[in-house]
Structure 1
């Protein structure tokens, strides 16, 4: 059987001297494309923040102790813009408890006993269903997800991993991946079961020590305490494929990746870029990035840490590629923690193997010159530029863009859970029950916050809910024709900094609807003065749409920031959302958006379109619209015209609004009030061009035509 050999030090002595110079230049280029210590740390910090937001959000909505984990390249910091890595997200199903020994059985819990016998592929297991009252196996099939095998054991099928259907995702192996037709970033979502113990199959790894003394004893002890997952997918050639579960030590592997130095990270990133540029173009789905990671971890474990430096990057890369070459040649790549699990057990077709071997041989023998051919992240051009100085490149440009994307994703996750909460509560018809539900959410978030769980997620969601509670109470007061109650104003005052303007614009809307025009005008004026059009980014996750690049000034601030959540409050603007119970808190022009769908349109809606039952508008257009309305009441014609001009201008110039159709509908109604019927019709037709169905513009066009025809008869 093929074994890894430690020969890096020999390779270092054999390599010509110029490789040190090339390695330094290669390290510099990787620094420029965002593979540097600052960006790796930022990716990890924000990845863990997103992980907490996902966990808190799902616990709040599903009312169970689900855990969500970000795994893979995005949280490891081992990706680039050009690699376009998906977000790998793992959800645990909390109702099941996986155990490896009868002594771990607990009463009243759905225990599942891991079985690893000769019928199971290495790195996989079967899950036997146990009784909840006594530590004995279940003898009868209990549901459609359990099966009796040939020797009478009742086993849990891995098909149960499909029990949760994720909208806009299709199943690929163990993951549900976002549909490729989507224009948004991709998510690979895996549902798994968790075991608190360390897997029996990996216990030997804890005891043994590699030649390079890595991982250290302390690192392995930490890994031992991370537990493991079982993922609902069986071995491809197994006779029990539908019953097998793959053992995943993802948390331990993530911890190991967190302990790599920057040269090791750069080496892995280069392997993935090579994989994408040279191998996947010829042989897709042959060698995976996980195989590359595994090879590199093996290489690190059998070499000394001081061998991995900036001036030896090219040597380290060639060493890893050589090991990968041997793995492909021998159809053998042992899992780093469970070596009995051969990641290349299925082998390659003769044609595929020949292509991969020839490609790797070409790259290794080129001593770095093959890297000049790589277009991903302009890697080849950038390497060449370090020698020839063809153009002057901003060394922080790509790091800034990455930072802007990371901060935006935090805002999108918070925005998404805000919307999920509204979708649930908007279906509650009784106002008292709805208020009680919102209050329950608020108390749950306070409970999590007091337990020390992620305060960013809890604080952001709690502020959104407080605003809706206050707004719903205000809507009741407006309907009853009484002034705003103290509870309403207190709740709204607690959440004015959830982002830069959305909650403040909503407050101004409430004051406008209560007739306090001067107060509304003052708030709107202060908001406009604080809104920097060159910096602020709109945030919307109501539906999936093509999100354009962020503003350069926004990206720069995100790159320089150490506290991204505070930054999120100051330079982002979420869309403004009104539940139907808040209908009295927005002008009648926006109320039409709650009833945008004709009976025919409803048949073209999916469960992801429930946001259409709300009134939703981007913050900046709503700001200008409210200014138009307030200045109209105050008879300040000059300011009114400036507001309608700003509304039209921002619709045209801002690429990242999520609700331009709604903004155009508001602009059209302003034009009607200005008696500019042709301009109003143009706005409604442009709105329909953006969203052909489920658009209130249809109603406005019908109303406008009737109005014009009616006036023509007099």
Structure 2
């Protein structure tokens, strides 16, 4: 058996499942540019972490978001306060004298902070300390019924752009600009990995504190855990692709073999333990070269290290080794049982991976064909069109901004930030992602400006706002997705320019019938490649890519959809995601009613056929609620109340993805159909 060939085969299989180097790089760049934009303004900052931030897109890849206030800063000793204006920023001092390694108490020496922090404090040792449990209670008091508590986080289930769902953990924490003294030994260990510039960047950005104490500590309810989430994703970024694939292999090994058929409460090992094993294995230089030919050898090194930890009952935290992450869970009989199970797997050798559905076929291919040669060149693993499908889906799903911040002045600040970013060195993925962010911010600004000045009664202001809004939306149509042309059609309809709206709709139709068009995940790969293959991502986005239309809940786009947007807001949803062709037919119907009743009826007929008969390509499953709703609205406006009633009832029967049931129910009650 040629172990190197088998390693290459598994590497190729994992690249297809987990991502090629190019795919992983694009995912990270897109998330990084989004975070950079969102953290330029306001007091609150946020940071994404978790598997998806690292570059994974497995079905259960999670998202973690950490939030903190910039006007509260944690320091390790009083001398560090000289770097701050203590009249504007609350100083919080670490006191880890009575806490286990990796945990600390947070002391407010000046007893001055925000109200949410002060209400979370307890008196201890003559001082005022921020209680982690009280802080969690205060933060979680505003949670929705769909949220649940998970460790230091509130967890909810989110819908994704590709219609999967995942758990999204949100942690409200504190930040320190300084590296923890208890982790200083980590800096001294970094001789071979990570590179010096990564070490310096990690140390320069400090750490965070999340609201959970050590289960065996003296102050569990009041302690805070030191979080290295920011350092960890930067370490994952610094891995070469074989190391990243090894990390993914360990995650799949955990899920599909070690924890297979175990309930959540029965599992002892978690993904964080796998990550820690990979970190230690890379830093200890136990493998001379991390390359595709050595993938299985790298996996075996990590697996042996994991078994050693379980045998000894010690899993040393990568940054603070004195923090034994097995201490409160893996000991006694549970430890013995887990070791026996892992050692039983170890005795099977590499054949144990045959029990993983994700890995099995890559091994069988080599076993059945010993003379097999494997090409690990990433350009042979995924076509240009397949890569672009994922890339533009990723850009669209990350093209989101906090709707509570969508105000004109903040939109202008966003645009100023983009102007500065354009001058900085950016990757091709960051450039095209920034281009789409710009289009979205211009589109939001255009509608916000119009809504601000519509009812002022000052003609000059209204004229200027209208002219600026039109210019912004023309720019959106020029360098956004093909589908973004519908924003200017909505604007023309909203401002009673019905013929102009219909003209834009006609032009949009011409672009949408091109045989190479990529709509959501659907594309004729050969025609797409022939038409735009090899061109820049910016050109592809402008000429060949269309997506569903996002309507943010705090912006009025057209009055006909205001009840649905308000229903979203009431139910803690913030965006309507409308299938492109549904909105196209709706706008054509609405605009034609004022200039061409025959065309209006034809548009309504097209909309009805689409909603009744489409099986997914044009109306995804999770968007059928809003699609039936829009059909009902148009039928009601046309005077066909029975048909409208049927459509509204169908909307209520769909998956409530958009949470518009309140609006739908009211529309039904307002029909007043005679018996």
In which range does the TM-score fall when normalised by the shorter chain? 0.7 to 0.9
- 1:623 is matched with which residue: 563, 584, 588? 584
Could you tell me how far apart the structure 2 residues matched to 1:574 and 1:52 are? Answer: 25
The equivalences for 1:479-494 within 5 A come to 485-494=463-472
SS at match of 1:494: helix
Does the aligned pair in 2 maintain the 1:23–1:312 contact within 8 Å? yes
- 1:70 is matched with which residue: 48, 53, 57? 48
TM-superposed CA distance for 1:469, in Å, is 3.0
Deviates more, 1:518-527 or 1:481-490: 481-490
The match for 2:207 is 228
Does the aligned pair in 1 maintain the 2:104–2:226 contact within 8 Å? yes
The match for 1:46 is 30
The equivalences for 1:283-298 within 5 A come to 284-298=266-280
Could you tell me how far apart the structure 1 residues matched to 2:533 and 2:137 are? Answer: 39
TM-superposed CA distance for 1:306, in Å, is 3.4
Q: What do residues 90-147 of structure 1 show as CA deviations (whole Å, max 9, x unaligned)?
A: 2222221111111112431311111121x210111111112279xxxx9xx9933112
SS at match of 2:173: strand
- 2:360 is matched with which residue: 371, 380, 387? 380
The match for 1:508 is 489
Say if 2:649 is the partner of 1:685: yes
The match for 2:218 is 239
Could you tell me how far apart the structure 2 residues matched to 1:595 and 1:289 are? Answer: 38
- 2:3 is matched with which residue: 5, 10, 19? 19
Does the aligned pair in 2 maintain the 1:644–1:670 contact within 8 Å? yes
Could you tell me how far apart the structure 1 residues matched to 2:665 and 2:23 are? Answer: 45
Deviates more, 1:244-253 or 1:660-669: 660-669
TM-superposed CA distance for 1:184, in Å, is 2.9
The match for 1:178 is 156
SS at match of 1:44: helix
Does the aligned pair in 2 maintain the 1:625–1:647 contact within 8 Å? yes
Say if 2:151 is the partner of 1:169: no
The match for 1:521 is 502
TM-score relative to the length of structure 1 = 0.76
SS at match of 1:485: helix
TM-superposed CA distance for 1:352, in Å, is 3.4
TM-superposed CA distance for 1:665, in Å, is 4.4
Does the C-alpha gap of structure 1 residues 306 and 37 become closer, same or farther in structure 2, counting only changes over 3 Å?
farther
Does the aligned pair in 1 maintain the 2:154–2:171 contact within 8 Å? yes
The match for 1:156 is 130
Does the C-alpha gap of structure 1 residues 169 and 700 become closer, same or farther in structure 2, counting only changes over 3 Å?
closer
The match for 2:61 is 85
The match for 2:397 is 412
Does the C-alpha gap of structure 1 residues 460 and 326 become closer, same or farther in structure 2, counting only changes over 3 Å?
same
The match for 1:8 is none
Does the C-alpha gap of structure 1 residues 324 and 471 become closer, same or farther in structure 2, counting only changes over 3 Å?
same
Gaps of 5+ in 1: 1-16, 423-437, 539-549, 710-714
Q: What do residues 24-80 of structure 1 show as CA deviations (whole Å, max 9, x unaligned)?
A: 221121122134311221222122133235435xx4xxx31x322222322223x35
Does the C-alpha gap of structure 1 residues 253 and 399 become closer, same or farther in structure 2, counting only changes over 3 Å?
farther
Could you tell me how far apart the structure 1 residues matched to 2:282 and 2:663 are? Answer: 58
TM-score relative to the length of structure 2 = 0.80
Could you tell me how far apart the structure 2 residues matched to 1:395 and 1:516 are? Answer: 50
TM-superposed CA distance for 1:564, in Å, is 7.6
TM-superposed CA distance for 1:205, in Å, is 2.2
SS at match of 2:288: helix
The match for 1:33 is 17
Say if 2:178 is the partner of 1:197: yes
TM-superposed CA distance for 1:487, in Å, is 2.8
Could you tell me how far apart the structure 1 residues matched to 2:354 and 2:363 are? Answer: 7
Deviates more, 1:501-510 or 1:338-347: 501-510
Deviates more, 1:666-675 or 1:283-292: 666-675
Say if 2:279 is the partner of 1:279: no
Does the aligned pair in 2 maintain the 1:618–1:658 contact within 8 Å? no
- 1:96 is matched with which residue: 66, 72, 77? 72
Does the aligned pair in 2 maintain the 1:170–1:179 contact within 8 Å? no
TM-superposed CA distance for 1:336, in Å, is 1.4
Does the C-alpha gap of structure 1 residues 169 and 621 become closer, same or farther in structure 2, counting only changes over 3 Å?
same
Say if 2:537 is the partner of 1:567: no
Does the aligned pair in 1 maintain the 2:579–2:627 contact within 8 Å? yes
Does the aligned pair in 2 maintain the 1:53–1:414 contact within 8 Å? no
TM-superposed CA distance for 1:705, in Å, is 1.7
Q: What do residues 588-607 of structure 1 show as CA deviations (whole Å, max 9, x unaligned)?
A: xx26736987xxxx9xx845
Q: Flag the structure with larger Rg.
A: 1
- 1:593 is matched with which residue: 554, 563, 570? 563
Q: What do residues 253-304 of structure 1 show as CA deviations (whole Å, max 9, x unaligned)?
A: 2222222122211211111111101222355441121111112221222226
- 1:646 is matched with which residue: 593, 596, 606? 606
Gaps of 5+ in 2: 370-378, 423-429
Could you tell me how far apart the structure 2 residues matched to 1:519 and 1:181 are? Answer: 35
Could you tell me how far apart the structure 1 residues matched to 2:221 and 2:419 are? Answer: 43
TM-superposed CA distance for 1:451, in Å, is 5.2
Could you tell me how far apart the structure 1 residues matched to 2:669 and 2:165 are? Answer: 32
Could you tell me how far apart the structure 1 residues matched to 2:21 and 2:257 are? Answer: 27
The match for 2:340 is 358
Could you tell me how far apart the structure 1 residues matched to 2:126 and 2:50 are? Answer: 38
Deviates more, 1:280-289 or 1:568-577: 568-577
Does the aligned pair in 2 maintain the 1:592–1:696 contact within 8 Å? no
Say if 2:194 is the partner of 1:215: yes
TM-superposed CA distance for 1:237, in Å, is 0.9
The match for 1:551 is 522
Does the C-alpha gap of structure 1 residues 229 and 185 become closer, same or farther in structure 2, counting only changes over 3 Å?
same
The match for 2:375 is none
- 1:439 is matched with which residue: 395, 402, 408? 408
Does the aligned pair in 2 maintain the 1:665–1:684 contact within 8 Å? yes
Could you tell me how far apart the structure 1 residues matched to 2:533 and 2:26 are? Answer: 9
Does the aligned pair in 2 maintain the 1:54–1:413 contact within 8 Å? no
Does the aligned pair in 1 maintain the 2:77–2:93 contact within 8 Å? yes
TM-superposed CA distance for 1:471, in Å, is 3.4
SS at match of 2:359: helix
The match for 1:13 is none
The match for 1:543 is none
Does the aligned pair in 2 maintain the 1:215–1:256 contact within 8 Å? yes
Q: What do residues 216-247 of structure 1 show as CA deviations (whole Å, max 9, x unaligned)?
A: 44443333222111221111111201221111
TM-superposed CA distance for 1:674, in Å, is 6.5
The match for 1:143 is 118
Deviates more, 1:566-575 or 1:519-528: 566-575
Does the aligned pair in 1 maintain the 2:27–2:394 contact within 8 Å? no
TM-superposed CA distance for 1:326, in Å, is 0.8
Could you tell me how far apart the structure 2 residues matched to 1:503 and 1:80 are? Answer: 26
- 2:235 is matched with which residue: 240, 250, 256? 256
Q: What do residues 320-378 of structure 1 show as CA deviations (whole Å, max 9, x unaligned)?
A: 11110010111101111211111112242555334432332233333322212212xx3
Could you tell me how far apart the structure 1 residues matched to 2:497 and 2:91 are? Answer: 61
Say if 2:177 is the partner of 1:206: no
Could you tell me how far apart the structure 1 residues matched to 2:14 and 2:7 are? Answer: 10
Does the C-alpha gap of structure 1 residues 696 and 144 become closer, same or farther in structure 2, counting only changes over 3 Å?
closer
Does the C-alpha gap of structure 1 residues 500 and 620 become closer, same or farther in structure 2, counting only changes over 3 Å?
farther
Could you tell me how far apart the structure 2 residues matched to 1:680 and 1:43 are? Answer: 42
Say if 2:276 is the partner of 1:302: no
SS at match of 2:200: helix
The match for 2:425 is none
Deviates more, 1:18-27 or 1:359-368: 359-368
Q: What do residues 416-469 of structure 1 show as CA deviations (whole Å, max 9, x unaligned)?
A: 53x4446xxxxxxxxxxxxxxx33223332443455499568624531332213
